[in-house]
Structure 1
Amino acid sequence: MKKRMIGAAVIGVSALMTLGTAFTSLADWTMDNGEWVYTLNNGEFFKDGWKEDGGHSYYLGSDGYMVRSRLLEINENYYYVNSSGAMVKNEWRELENTSQQSSSVPNDVNWYYFGSDGRAYRSKNGKAAVEEIGGKKYVFDEYGRMLTGWISESGEALTDESAWQDALYYGDGDNNGGALIVNNWLYTSVQDYDNEDDIEPSYWFYFSAAGKKKTSDQETINGKKYYFNEHGAAQTGWVQEDGDEHWHYYGDEEDCSLRTGWFEAVPDEDMDSEGYSDGTSYWFYAASDGDLAVSQIKTISGDVYAFNEYGELMTGLKKMRVENKEILAYDDIESEDDLPGDDEDDWGVYYMDENNGRVKTGNATIDLDGNTYTYAFKSSGSDKGRGIDGVDGNYIYDNGRRLRAESGTKYEIVVHDGTEYLVNTSGLLAKKKKNVTDSDGVYYCTDSEGRVTYTGYDRYTED
C-alpha cells in the first residue's frame, strides 16, 4: 500500500490527554511515549493502516503511533486527520502547500475538501474534478487543492499570459470563495498581443451552468445574443461572422449584446473605410437576427427610410435608381447639374430629412446651390417618396423640383417632356390666360392645362 505523510503535526505532548479522543475500547488503545497506539492480540502495535472506533477512523503510522494534524497520501488519494487523529469528512481544510506537492499552484496555503469517505476531491486521469459543495461548484487539482483564477480542462491552474485563452473554467477567489463562475459573466483584463488597439484589453467572458467558458460563435443568454471568439472573449463592435457576408453589431463594453432595431455607430474600416477614417457616426437599423437594412427603402413603424450599401441611414437630397424598394445606385445632389438628366429616366429624386432621416413625402423647402426651392414628393404608391415629375394640380415639377419663373419676370415658359407651360414666379401654372405679359412685355395665351398656345410681342386677336 502506497502511503505518505505530508506536513508535520505540531502538537505538544502535554496536550495529548486533552485532545478529546474518546475510544470505545480503551483496552486496545494505550499510550506509548505520550502517543496513542493500538495493541493487537499478539502484543504488537497495529501499523500503517486505519482503525475504526466510535464512528471515526484513525491512522496509525509505520511506528504504530496515531497520526494527527497531517495530510496523508494513501494509494493516490489524500486524507486529512485532525488534531484528535480522526479522519476529516465533509469538511473544508486550509493547509500549507508542501514541498512534496507540485508548486504549480503559487499559494502558501490551499483549500481542500474532504468528502463523505474522507478522500480529498481531486482531478484524475487528466480531467478536472468539478465538484458541487453547498450549492456551488469548485475545481480541485490532482493533489486535491482548490484552484482559483483560470483553470484548464485537465484541472491545472493557468497563470501565464495566455491563461485566458487556454482555460475552460474560472474560480472566483476574490468575490466567491474560489467557487466557479456559473451562469454569469466575468469582466477582466488580459494580455492579448493580437489586439492591435490595446495589448492589455478587458474582455467579457460567460460561463455556463457547468462552469464552462463559452467559446462557440453566437450564443443566446437571457434572451440576448452574443458572439464569442475561439478563446471565449465576447466580441464588441462590428463582427462579420464566419461564412456570413452580413455585418452584425455587438455594441460596446457596457453592453456587448447584438444590436437590433435602431442603433448608432461608426462603421468598421473593412465596411466603409471613408466613414471609418472620418470617425463619422451613422444610424443603422437591424432586424431581429442582426442583419442590417442595406441598399433599400424600408418602412419602419410607419415611416420610410433609405439605407446605403453599408446600412448607413441616408440623409439629404439624392438621386437614386430604385427597383422594388432596392436602391441600385445613388448619388448626392449638390447643384442643379447633379439632377437626373434626359437619359436617366429610371432615376428619381428623394429627400431624406437631415435631422431624422425620414424619406420626405409631400412638399418640402430645400436649399440647393445657394437657392431655395420647393419640392414635392409622392405620398403613396410603390414609389412613395420619389420626386413628382410632371403636372400635379396647379404646379409642374421636374424630378420633384417645382418649376417657376425667375424673380421679377412675372411669367416664364418652362418645358417638360417637350411641352411648353407658363408659370409665374411662385410656380403656379397660368391656366386659361389670354394676353398676359411678362416683365419684358411678351404676351402669352394658355389653355386649361397651362400649356402655351400663343407667345409674341403683339396682343393675340382672333381672326
Structure 2
Amino acid sequence: MNEKYKKRIPKILPVGIAMGILFSSAPITEHKVKADVDTAATIITTFGEIYNTFLAEPFGEWLDETSAKSLYNRGLENSAYIAPTFQKGEFGITVFDYYKDQNFSKKVKVAYADGKVEYKTIKHGQQLRIKQAGTIVDLNPDEPEVSKHNLLYITQKQLDEGKTGVALTNWQTFYLESSNEGHYTSLADKFVRGEFPGAYTKGGVLDVRYTFRDLFNQLPEDKRKLGTATSEPISKDVLSNYVTNDSKALADFNDRVVNVFADTNSILETPLALPFITLNDGKPYQIIPYKKGSNKVFVKKGSQYLSGKEGNNLQYSDSIGDDEVFELVQIENSGQNELQFRLNNKNGVSLAGNQYISQFGTDWSFKSEIRFTAKTNNEIHNWLVDWHPSKVNETKKHEGMTYAGLEFKPDEKDSSIWTAYNSGKLITNSWIERQGDHYYADSSGILLKGWQEFEGNTYYFSPNSNHRVKNSIGYVSSDTFIDGKWYNFNEDGVLQKSAWNGLEYSDASGAFIEEGLKEIDNKIYYFKDYKATTNELRLEDQNIILHFSDKGVLEKASRLNGEALNSVNHVTLDEKTLVFEKDGSIRKNGVSKIFLPGLFDKKEQPALVYYSFEEGPNYTGWKEIDGKKYHFVGGKHYTFDGHEPIDGKRYYFNQDGEAKLTGFDKVNNKIYYYNDKGEMQTGWQEIDGKWYYFDESGAAKIGWFEVGGGYHFPYYGYFTYYAKEDGSIYTDTTVEIDGRTYKFDSHGHKGY
C-alpha cells in the first residue's frame, strides 16, 4: 500500500457501504446564495462560491447520460440536478444542465397574486426563489395543449415551511423536499476514490482498515458539500397536496389559472346569443384568447369556466382542462350583417340550441351561430386582429366618434396647432369623424399630424388640415404623395407595407415602387410607371423577349423572332443579371442540378449551379442553404460522390453535391471526427494508430473519463482512461498527471 496514505488515514473498524444509505457525521453548511436579479415577489440567484465554481467547470461525465435520463433519486444531486436552497419564506426552482452548458436555460411563466404575469428565464446554475404566496408557476409554458402544461401553486404553508422546491434539467423535472440526513450523492464515491486511491484494493473494494465515512470527512469542504445530498426527490402529488388540501388556495388557483394559460389582456366581455336563445339570461361572459396565433379560447362566467362536455344543457367547471378549451371559428354574417361564430369543443362539436335548450350537441332543431350582442362589428374585428390567426394580415378599423358640439380651435400662440372640443369640453385620446374625414386627438386634445403609430399600424395625418390620409379602391389620393413618394394606404388610412394594390406594389416602407427590376416573394417583376409589366418586354440589343404573366411575374425568355433559346442565356436588365435555361425558363433562386459543358472536354455533365437575384450567377465560395453546405466556383460545382481539398481541408461531396467535412474538426474547443463520407463518428475510433473516444454529441473526451460495458475488473463495470489535449488516450505507458504517477495498459486502462 502507498505509504503516503498509511500516514494520513487512521485504522478503524470495517464498515460495509452501499450508495444511498451512507451518512456523514460532519455538518455541512447551507448554500450561500448570491442575488442576481431581484423583483418584488421573486429573486434569481446563484448558489455561492463553491457551487458556482463547480457548475462553471467544463463538462465531466460524473454520471452517465442514461442514468441522468432515467433515474430519480437523491444520489443524482449535483450530477443530474441541483437542489434549491430550501429557505423559509421561499420556494426554489433550479436549473441544471448535464453538459454544464452555461447558456442552457429553462423558461417558466409566473402569475403573481396581484395579477402580474411574466416569463422568467433561469440559466444553468441559477435558481428562482419565489417569495409570494398565491404565485402560480407554469413549468412548461410553451406547450400547445392545455393538459401538457405543468402548473404549481405556491401556498403560504409551503413558504412558511421552506422545505419544497423543483429542479429543472435536460430531461427530467425533479420535485424535491429538503433533507438534512447527510445522505451521500454519487459524487461522494468518485471524490473519495480520486482523493484516496491507496485506500482501495486492486479489486476496487475499500480496504477493511478504513471506513468510507472517515475518508469522506477528510475531503476538502467543497467536495464534502458537493458529495452530500440536501434533497429527497418526491412525487409531484406531495406538492399538489398543499393546494388541494387548502380550499381557499384551491379556489384562488382555479379562478386565476387562466392568467397563466391565456392572454388576459385581450378579454372580450359580452353576452352570447344563439338564433333562438340568449345564454346565461343575457349576463356577460368573458371570452379569453388562449394565445396569439391560436384560434382557441376559454369562456368564463363569474369564477367558472364553460365546459365542452357533451350532454343535456350547458355545463361549467371550477377548473381548466382540455374540455374547457374551444375553437372560435368565424362564419358568414347574419342577415343583419352581424359577425357570427361557432364555438367548437375538443371533438369539433359546436355549441348549439333551440328556444328551449343550449348544449354541445346536435339536433335537427339546433342552430349554432353565435353572436356577441354587446359589441359592434368593428369592436369584434379589432379584438380578433390582436390574436386570431384568421386576421393575421388584417388591420384594425377605427371609426371616429361624431360629436354634436364638435369644434376645432387653433392655439393662441401657434396657429398650426389645433385642439378638439365638444361643447366646450376638451376631447382627448379619441378618434374623431368630421364630414367624412378622420382625426385623432392626443392626451392633450391636440390633433395629430405627420406620421403616427397606433396599435402596430402606421398612419399619416395631413400637416395642413390634420385629417388622416387614405386611398380608395382604384383611386390614389393626392394626399398620399409625401416627401416625394407615393404611399400605399388602405381605405382606413393604414399604411400598407410590402403589399400589392392591383399591379402596384409598396415596399417595406409603404412607398410604391416606381420602376425597376424587383424580387418579391422569390418571383421577379419589372416595374414601369408604378405598375408591374405584363405580357412582354423586348430587349432589342440582346435579341431577347421577356415574357410576363398577367400578374406581372417574369416567367420565361425567347429570341426576338419567338424561337426558343436552345442554350443557357444571361440577360442584363436594370444592372441585374438574369439567367434563363435552354428551354427559356428563368433560373430559380438557390441551388439547382442541371447539365452543363465540362470544364475541360466541354462534354455535358451534371453540375450544381447557384443563383440569387442579388448575387447573380457567378458566386464563388461557401453557401449554406436549408442546413446543407455547398461550395461553388463561378456559380458552379461539378464534384459528386467524390472528394475535394478546399482551404486546407478535405471535403466529401455526396450525390446531391452537399459538402461534408472529413477528418478532425475543432469547434468551441471541442474535437470532432468525420469519416471519409463526412459522417460524424461516436464511440471508440482508431485513427492513424491512436485511439479516441467520442461521446453521443460527437465530441472527443478530454482528460479523465470512464466507459462502461458490463462488469470489468476491477472497478464496478467501468474502465478509466485519460485523453490528451488532442483527444487521443494514453496507452501502454506510465505518465505523471497532476503530480501523480499513473500506468496505462495497452488498451488505455488506468491501473490501480
Global fold match (TM > 0.5) = no
Q: Which has the higher contact order (CA 8 A, sep 6+)?
A: 2
TM-score (norm 1): 0.30
Comparing both structures, which one devotes a greater share of its residues to helix? 2
